[in-house]
Amino acid sequence: MALNKQESRSMITVTNLSKVYNGTTVLDVPHLEIPKGQSFGLVGNNGAGKTTFFSLLLDLIQPTTGSIFNNEITVSQSEAWKPFTASFIDETFLIGYLTPEEYFNFIGELRGQNKADVASFLKGFEDFFNGEILGRRKYLRDLSKGNQKKVGIVAALIGNPEVIILDEPFANLDPTTQIRLKNLIREITENAEVTVLISSHDLIHVTEVCQRIVVLDRGEVVKDIKTSEATLRELEQFFSGEEVEDEKENIL
């Protein structure tokens, strides 16, 4: 996909990034580049640093060393990356006392879309919402966890962002929605302009939708794989611990 562009440009660049809490290093990434248009998957066990990485990317926490560049903008120094970056990390991204429609309109407004734009955008998600979101006259806080997640994910897609960050998008979703979400992400990444970053605990989902998978373990990048037929097997081996021992030796 990216072939028709000249040597694909780096959208997100990480240099010497580390985050230390009270002497414990929770993230240490010397260098990482994510080209424009790539769908990028981040996997790792609890505490591997996935959410820390995304929070740093969104300037929600401060890096101890190094910096992240989003389209050549240093995220911790300028706010200029915000207009083209959208994200959904967790329910704290939702405003509980709004109805889904109001929330979409609010986000739309922040991204320069008027009500009509948002309405026509939402038309495309009727299947995804499965009739449980729109027009129900319910506040977001009264929706189930899964439905809240759907709202957050769709809101992150409003206004044609160039970078989309989704933390654990598959968790809490019912099987039907998981399949629909996979198709949705594939559709988005077919457009070579949009860079998608996803983290997940579900190896199957992430290998299905991501072109590249990076494995984090205790804050460090231990695998960086271009997705192929063999990827799932490789990841399963890694996480079952069969291969871990000698792998670690190589790193240390």
Question: Which residues bind to another protein, rule: CB under 8 A?
Answer: 55, 58-62, 79, 82-83, 85, 87, 89, 92-99, 101-102, 106-107, 109-111, 137-139, 141-142
Look at residues 181, 165, 163, 195 and name the one whose alpha carbon lies nearest to residue 93: 165
Q: Least distance to another protein from the beta carbon of 102, Å?
A: 7
Q: Please, which residue, 142 or 190, has the CB nearer to another protein? A: 142
Give residue 108's region: left, alpha or beta (phi > 0; psi -120 to 50): alpha
Q: Least distance to another protein from the beta carbon of 91, Å?
A: 9
Q: Least distance to another protein from the beta carbon of 153, Å?
A: 13
Q: Please, which residue, 34 or 215, has the CB nearer to another protein? A: 34
Cα–Cα distance, 8 to 176 (Å, whole number): 34
Look at residues 212, 188, 197 and name the one whose alpha carbon lies nearest to residue 68: 197
Q: Please, which residue, 69 or 139, has the CB nearer to another protein? A: 139
Q: Least distance to another protein from the beta carbon of 78, Å?
A: 11
Q: Is 20 exposed, middle or buried (0-12, 13-18, 19+ CB in 10 A)?
A: middle
Q: Is 77 exposed, middle or buried (0-12, 13-18, 19+ CB in 10 A)?
A: exposed
Q: Least distance to another protein from the beta carbon of 62, Å?
A: 5
Q: Strands 39-43 and 163-167, how do they pair? A: unpaired
Q: Please, which residue, 151 or 225, has the CB nearer to another protein? A: 151
Q: Please, which residue, 69 or 93, has the CB nearer to another protein? A: 93
